Amino acid sequence: MTIATNLLFSKFQPQEFEQLCQLLCSVFETSPKELAKLYQDIDSTFYQPGWPKHFVRRDFFKSASEPFRHTCQKSPVIAVDLPSLIELDDGQNYKSTIALIGQDPKNNEDQEQLVVGTPYGLHHQGSREELSQTKLYFEMVHVLLELGYRVYMTDLLKIWVCNPEQRYVGLKLPASDQQRFLSLVKLELDVLHPVSIITWGKKAASAVDQLKSGIKHLKFPHPSGAASGKWQELMQQSPTHCNKLAYFRTQTTQFLCNSLLPRS
């Protein structure tokens, strides 16, 4: 598969970015100016080899639960995923959008500051081109780019807090925080107006169904190796990298063509 290198990262329309910043400011202790700087910093390393790190102060996230705030202070690492947008730099403006909605971030390295990333880590060239698992994620995203869409990626729960008592195992967020983030996703969809939603994995699919957005929703098992059994059952063939990608290409192309046809 030939992967294009002419990609644009998070080049939102001005009104989209303004509204998205307002939404993020409602759940994080931040400002539009700080968010713009974070996106600029990530964009500046989009084509840098490897996995450049980005950070923000820990009080960027303030739980609605006071006991959980104390837990966060002891956590060895906290990670946030900012929503991102990827499209081909092909001179085409005002493309339709597809939303790819994931579960939550994760991080496996102690950090004093809060780690800033994006869903599936696709702001990293290393993730897009080197690691086999995340390379498959990007190749699937690229299928959608080739079809002429831009892809908006966001997490249902945008914060991941490592358990202080169990390294690199995430803590369940308090119900109040979960609700804040889940409510945010539906508002994000109102801003981006996607023509379709794609989810990977049962948890993300179930949560998106509960949003009752009215947007056409295409569900797949998670592309990771942990879901190989589900893929084999679905495809009736070996769940290799190539087979999963081919199946994703066929199903998304058929789904998008059929679901977006004008009704007679």
What pLDDT is stored for residue 116 in this prediction? 98
Closest to 60 measured CA to CA, from 29, 16, 90: 29
- Ranges of residues in the chain whose predicted pLDDT is under 50: 262-264
Closest to 252 measured CA to CA, from 210, 223, 212: 223
What pLDDT is stored for residue 262 in this prediction? 47
Q: What interhelical angle do 132-146 and 241-259 show, nearest 10?
A: 30
The 10 Å Cβ neighbour count of residue 116 is 20
SS3 for 231? Answer: helix
Closest to 7 measured CA to CA, from 194, 112, 145, 126: 145
Cα-based distances in Å from 195 to 92, 150, 155, 257: 17, 11, 18, 11
What pLDDT is stored for residue 264 in this prediction? 37
Q: What is the CATH number assigned to the segment(s) 7-223? A: 3.40.470
Write out the two tokens for 65: 């639960």
8 phi and psi, to 5 degrees?
Answer: -110, 135
Q: How far apart are CA 182 and CA 159, in angstroms?
A: 12
Q: What is the pLDDT of residues 142-182, one digit of tens each?
A: 999 999 999 999 999 999 999 999 989 999 999 999 999 99
What pLDDT is stored for residue 2 in this prediction? 61
What is the model's pTM?
0.95
The 10 Å Cβ neighbour count of residue 66 is 9
